[in-house]
Amino acid sequence: MNSRFSIAGSMLTMILIEIVPLTTFAAAPLLYSRMKMIAEKEELHDVEPDLARFVIALVKEKYQVTLAEEDISVAVRDHGAFLGRCGRSTSQVMRCEEIQGAIAKVVPREERVRKLGRDLYLTSSSYEIPLSEHMGKFAALAPIIGSLLTIWQSGSDRASGTDPYVHMSAGALPEPESTTRQKYDDLKEELDTLVKGSGTKEDLSELSAAVARYRFGYKSVRAEESCGSTGSGGELGLLWKRWCNVEDDLHGIWQHLEDSLDDRPIPVSRDELVLFPTWLYKDINVVVWVTNRNAGIDWEIPLEPVLPRMLDDRDYQQCMEGTLGESYCGSVYPPMIILGGASLAPPQTTASGAGLCNMPVGSQGYLCRMIEQSECRVFSDGPAPTGIRLSECKQPVLKTPMKMSISGPDVCGIGGWRLPTENPSQGDTPVKDNIPPTQCSNCSVDLYCATSCPGTNPAVAFTGAKQSNGVIPICIPNSIAGSTAILQSVIIHELTHAQQTCSNPHSILNQDLNHCCSAEYQAHLVSCSTFFEDGILQDVQIQYQGKNLPVSTEFCAENLAAASCSALGECNDSPIVASLFLQKLVEATNRSQSRLGLPTSCTDAINKLDPRGKTIVASLPSICTPQCRSEYENSIGNNLCFVGQCIEQSWEEERLVPGRMSLNVGDESFPWDSCVGTEPAANTDPPSAGRLVLPTLALPPLPEYNPWAAAQITDRALCQMLGLPPRTPPTLCMGEVSTQLGRPLSDPLDMLVNLSKSIDAQIDPAHELERMAPSVGTRYATNLYRFQIDSLRWSFVEIFDAAATLLEEIGSTSFPQQMCSRVDRACPYIPSTTATP
Amino acid sequence: MRWQYALIGFSVLIAGAGFAAEWEQPYPKLGACTKKDSMAFGATTDPLYTQCMQNVGDESYCSALYPPAPLPYAEWATRYHKNVERILEDFLGKTPNDHLALRQWRTGPASCTQQAEDPASPVVGQIAATLEPWSTGGGPFTQADTVPVLLEYLRVYECSLVERSMSLPVEIWREETDRRGLLPGGLDANPFFFMTFWETWGKQSQDIRRELAISRPTLQRVLEFMGTIHMTRMFEQDAECIQRASLDIRNAIALSADAAACLPRIWNAKDPLRDLPVCSDGRDNDDDGKIDLVDSDCDSLTDMSEE
């Protein structure tokens, strides 16, 4: 007896051990439980609450019978049980059979739509998981890519490249922890109220809509008019609802973290993005991200999409918030049924500064800005393919060359990548100073203000030719088109011209249309990049054919170059009148004057020279001149700028081969130089001079984001599995029974059975394919990333290859043992039989 | 005699139910199953084994007499789902600070210089040890082994459920009898035996259908997510390695830049450093007392062969 009790006791202990973790399991469902719950919702016909409410409303409208939510599940699962329950709730017992039949038809159809929606979300999340830019969220690539950019990019790239630079840093959660935690706990409480029910009856429609609403930050939502909005009508109306308390709590968190940055030793710069650690609410699968600019919520792992709404009960809910009671609200404001059957309008292109394009890194993606011509290797021509087209390459922006050079590639010749090292004895003032260059530089600039400037148009700025003492005078008018705010970027533009003419004749700026367009385009690219960085370009409101044009850096440079060279001809075929663009740009700049503290006069602009302008002035001196110091931020790009400029300076100014300047190939003074023996610089194969040409970089092409093609492949696979040719829509393949009808069997019963089996045989592959679709999505995404990474890797390889060759050549420089004969001009030495004089 | 009729009738009923179950269950297409498959969910010690050990104390004797029994059916689902959940959570990584989203899925820094696969969750090894393909060993298990082990685990789970459903009444009868046998005396003659039996039969039949319906779709979703995350982690690791390599490259290029500062001076220095040809260097190169053109081996201006 005792032993039996002890056994029973031990069993009880075992049960308790098993129960304890189960209790925890129920309190905070982990990811697996959530996935299992979704499967249960889909497979067990345990009708979801919102679907049940929809069916109840349908039944009530058509049959005037009020059912409970539980009745709907029973109607789907158990025909007989439903008839019993139905009979108790209505006098129209005879119609119960009909009601059950209707419910059994509607529910699976709606469940199928919801299942497809979830599968589609799962598939698309394969793409989206790694694209997160929230620090600490797992598998988020964007922060690492930001770090890579910092390590690789040169100052010259930042100034003239068309890829805007995102300066990111990490912030810590402020102390004391209890205050911070309280802020997050407040938000959690609000989010918990959006989850209705539990288990398979859990209704996440409000929470998923809130996540979709604040996924890209609460600030843009808060900027909308009224906070009390309950959304709009229609299937997707919930997407426009606002949750004021959630917004307030998000604002509280953001404000608390933003305030903590005041204590940081180094102040946050204007373009800096500070990422705070991402907070996790594990039990509801939601994270909270915060930067110094915005805050929002997102799924940790996206599982639940915003499913189409079937009932519009906004008025009912509003009524219920008062004291009128359910019976009154239910009768006066009955939920409105949203019937399906109508296709919604296709989604609009994401507007600039909205949604994904509101995110600091996401806004740099090709979905949010025009594809720059320099980033496209292949230009699409011919008719547009059928299907969705998210982006495409533009045609070349200029009719003329985009860049011209008379002495090699001019490595990092445009833009500022160096820090000031030379302290001129006298600073540049708004009047003519005429400060000559130091021994380290071929030129110096002298910015001065004037009512009218030299040049063809006295109302615009002008960069003069280098004077005999090396000074390049730059005249800045007191205002341009009535604006002083724009002078900041105008000065940067003129300083770039000074860079272009520091070691070159002034005529390269305007000797003909080709030179003018290319020189102006490059100089405007630098100033347009500053417009973009300051957010001015995004504010330019210019219309074409009734639509607002997105203005990219290249578009800006192209139109301004056209305006600058209009006297010589047309640089481009832009349908936008260049003067109109300039006017809109000035207007946008004026709008940002107080926000950015832009200059209020020409004197102000020169005295408070923009840091980007200062780096351009600092980049004027020759880099490799002996006894001259250089200083720059330690990045791979800047170091390569240094090496490149040193090599170029050597080729252009030094005597690589004794007796002649290396690039003066027409010089016949020392024709025997070509006979010099193992001279690495002269006789390498290929000639090392070729290395001065930019390496053929394999720029990553645009990813082939082509969902239509993927869908077609899937359709074809379905038809192939059924032994049929491809058809669109693929349902045509599923509905094919002619193969069976074409081979009739003698026994009608066998024929019937065979037909029904043939439909089963068709549905099986369809289900398999449907299950397979998310995996196909994963595979498709893998290929997409692999393609990008491969191209990127090859770019790296080619850069390294070119750099390695150059450095090896430097290292393997051999000094010849004999001097060339200067007596009879005969070759003094023939190194081998193959060498010829 | 009446008992015999009842027994025959009952046998027919069981056979009929089993036959019906076979046709009604949404069975997945599975490999062959055995009753031993359910051992994959763990084993329990026979209470009589405990008694035996208390009385006799000989482990080999007691274990041979009362071998470990498979885990009771009631715990299969809990054990199966909990194990898969643990594997998934281990795969995702733990959040060291419970309120932060940062998940630590790697034990150390990423290996960039050799092909190193991350180890799988320890649960994968424990499960694999109970499954036929890995019963003779096969560890250590890496992340790449997780999918086949989970798929086999699912197959065994489904097989075990199907196998049980085929003879559900017999199994329940046996278990119920055993259970009742352990109850205090007097309850053996419980008049509600058949009621419990029917109730259990109906419930377990429903549970088996439910598990067969949800286990596979759930695991498919799990595997899809694991596949996606595994893929993105590869990219994340690549990016991390590129980041580290970039720092090395930056240092190397910075040194090169330092060296490059000397380039103009190197090029210029080449000119004066060159030796003059032997016929015009003003030296006696072969110790014959003569220099330049009069040097005996310097026959002409082009003669560079004097040594």
Cα A818 to chain centroid distance, Å, stands at: 60
Closest in A32, A125, A658 to B84, CB measured: A32
Across A103-107, A500-504, A757-761, A787-791, least confident range: A757-761
Q: Where are the domains of chain B?
A: 2-97+112-257, 275-307
Question: Which residue has tokens 């309008």?
Answer: A345
- Whole-complex ipTM: 0.73
- Which element (helix H / strand E) includes A547? strand A547-548
Above 90 in pLDDT, residue A184? Answer: yes
**pLDDT, position A287:** 92
Asked if B103's CB is within 8 angstroms of A138's CB, the reply is yes
- Range in A102-116, A555-569, A595-609, B231-245 with the lowest mean pLDDT: B231-245
Instruction: Find the closest chain B residue to A300 by CA distance.
Output: B101
Angle CA(A389)–CA(A374)–CA(A698) in degrees, nearest 5? 95
Indicate the pLDDT class of residue A24, thresholds 50, 70 and 90: very low
Calpha distance A776→A770 (Å, rounded): 10
CB within 8 Å: A151 and B243 = yes
Q: How far is A666 from chain B (nearest CA, A)?
A: 21
Question: Which of A412, A778, A793, A832 to probe by mutation at the B interface, max B CB count within 10 Å?
Answer: A778
Q: Give the rounded distance of the alpha carbon of A351 from its chain centre.
A: 13
Per-residue pLDDT tens for A520-539? 999 999 999 889 888 888 88
Cis upstream peptide for A176 (omega within 30°): yes
CA A87, A90, A94, A95 torsion: positive or negative? negative
Interface check for A636 against chain B (CB to CB < 8 A): the answer is yes
Residues in CB range of B108: below 8 A, 6 or more apart: none
Answer left, alpha or beta for residue A388, where phi above 0 means left and psi between -120 and 50 means alpha. beta
Render pLDDT for A728-755 as a digit per residue (tens, 0 to 9).
665 566 555 555 555 555 566 665 666 5
Q: Which one of A44, A807, A810 has the shortest CB-CB distance to B213?
A: A44
A41 interface with B at CB cutoff 8 Å: no
Query: A16 pLDDT exceeds 50?
Result: no
Query: Quick one: which of A446, A448, A528 has its CA closest to A489?
Result: A528
CB A61 within 8 A of CB A55: no
Query: A829 and B101: CB-CB below 8 Å?
Result: no
Beta strand segments in chain B, E? 43-44, 69-70
Q: Which of B95, B182, B267 sits opposite A4 (nearest CB)?
A: B182
Alpha-carbon distances of A360 from A550, A591, B229, B303, rounded to whole Å: 17, 22, 24, 72
Share of chain A above pLDDT 90, in %: 15
Residue A501 has pLDDT above 80, yes or no: yes
A234: which 2 tokens? Answer: 């229609």
A120 touches chain B (CB under 8 A): no
Write phi, then psi, for A129 (nearest 5 degrees). Answer: -50, -50
Q: What is the mean pLDDT of residues A276-293?
A: 90
Question: Are the Cβ atoms of A649 and B264 closer than 8 angstroms?
Answer: yes
Query: Which residue type, as a one-letter code, is found at position A593?
Result: Q
State the pLDDT at residue A707: 59
Residue A305: which H helix or E strand, with range? none
Nearest by CB: B263 against A148, A647, A789: A647
pLDDT band at B8 (very low <50, low <70, confident <90, very high): low
Is pLDDT above 50 for A835?
no
Determine the pLDDT at residue A379: 40
Amino acid residing at A148: L
- Please check whether residue B112 is in contact with residue B245, taking contact to mean a CB–CB distance below 8 angstroms: yes
| Torsion angle in degrees (nearest 10) through CA of B120, B124, B128, B134 | 0
Greatest extent of chain A over all pairs of C-alpha atoms, in Å: 127
Residue A251 pLDDT: 95
Chain A, 247-306: which have a CB under 8 Å from a chain B CB?
Answer: 277-280, 282, 287, 300-301
Contact (CB, 8 A) for A636 and B250? yes
**Residues 798-837, chain A, touching B (beta carbon < 8 A):** 800, 803, 807, 810, 813, 815-819, 821, 823-824, 826-829
Length of chain B: 307
SS3 state at B196: helix
Between CA A824 and CA A835 the distance in angstroms is: 19
Q: What is the rounded end-to-end Cα distance, in angstroms, of chain A?
A: 116
Residue B220, CA distances (Å) to A40, A120, A771, B150 in order: 13, 15, 8, 10
Q: Which residues of A touch B243 (CB under 8 A)?
A: 144, 147-148, 151
List phi, psi (to 5°) of A280. Answer: -125, 130
Those residues whose C-beta lies under 8 Å from the C-beta of residue A373, and which sit 6 or more positions away, are A393, A394, A395, A396, A397, A554
Letter string b/e over residues A11-29, b meaning 16 or more CB atoms within 10 A of that residue's CB: eeeeeeeeeeeeeebeeeb
Half-sphere exposure (Cβ direction) of A190: Cα atoms closer than 13 Å: 18
> Residue A750 — left, alpha, or beta (φ > 0 → left; ψ -120 to 50 → alpha)?
alpha
Mean pLDDT of chain A: 75
CB A215 within 8 A of CB A199: no
Interface of A with B in 311-370 (CB under 8 A): none
Which 3 state secondary structure label does DSSP give B142? strand
Distances (CA, A) of B201 to A160, A826, B173: 76, 111, 9
Q: Is the peptide bond before A686 cis (omega within 30 degrees of 0)?
A: yes
pLDDT confidence of residue A820? 46
By CA distance, what is B258's nearest residue in A? A643
Measured over the CA atoms of residue A561, residue A562, residue A563 and residue A567, the dihedral's sign is: positive
Task: List residues bridging with A279 in a β-sheet.
Answer: A288, B100
pLDDT of residue A827: 47
Q: How many residues does chain A have?
A: 837
| pLDDT tier, A22 (very low <50, low <70, confident <90, very high otherwise) | very low
Cα(A714)–Cα(A765) distance, integer angstroms: 12
Whether A55 has a pLDDT exceeding 60, the answer reads yes
Residue type (1 letter), A425: S
- Are B264 and A635 an interchain contact pair (Cβ–Cβ within 8 Å)? no
For helices B263-273 and A636-653, what crossing angle results, to 10°? 30
pTM value > 0.90: no
Question: Which residues of chain A lie closer than 8 angstroms to B254, CB-CB?
Answer: 634, 639
DSSP A15-78: HHHHHHHHHHHHHS--HHHHHHHHHHHHHS----HHHHHHHHHHHHHHH-----HHHHHHHHH-
Provide DSSP, A327-392.
HHHHHHSPPEE----SPPPPPPPPPTTSGGGGSTTGGGSTTTSPBPGGG-SS---SSPPSS-----
Tell me: pLDDT of A477 over 90. yes
The whole-number pLDDT of residue A724 equals 67
Do the Cβ atoms of B101 and A136 come within 8 Å? yes
Give the DSSP letter of residue B183. S
- Tell me the three state secondary structure of residue A12: helix
Query: A229: which 2 tokens?
Result: 């909005």
pLDDT reported for residue A662: 47
Residue with tokens 């980049």: A619
Instruction: Let me know: does A528 contact A553? Beta carbons within 8 Å.
Output: yes
Q: How far is B1 from chain A (nearest CA, A)?
A: 36
From the CA of B4, how many Å to the nearest CA of chain A?
34
What share of chain B has pLDDT > 90, as a percent?
A: 3
- Whether B250 and A279 lie within 8 Å, measured CB to CB: no
Q: Chain A residue with minimal CA distance to B47? A: A7
Question: What is the reported pLDDT for A82?
Answer: 82
Distance from CA of A450 to the nearest CA of B (A): 40
**What is the average per-residue pLDDT within A172-194?**
90
CA dihedral (A250, A251, A252, A258) positive or negative? positive
Token code pair at residue A459: 């109302």
Q: In the structure encoding, which two tokens stand for residue A514, read together?
A: 């080709």
Cβ–Cβ contact A151 with B under 8 A: yes
> pLDDT tens digits for A126-164?
666 666 777 777 667 777 777 888 888 888 877 766 666
- Token pair 């430097």 is found at A810
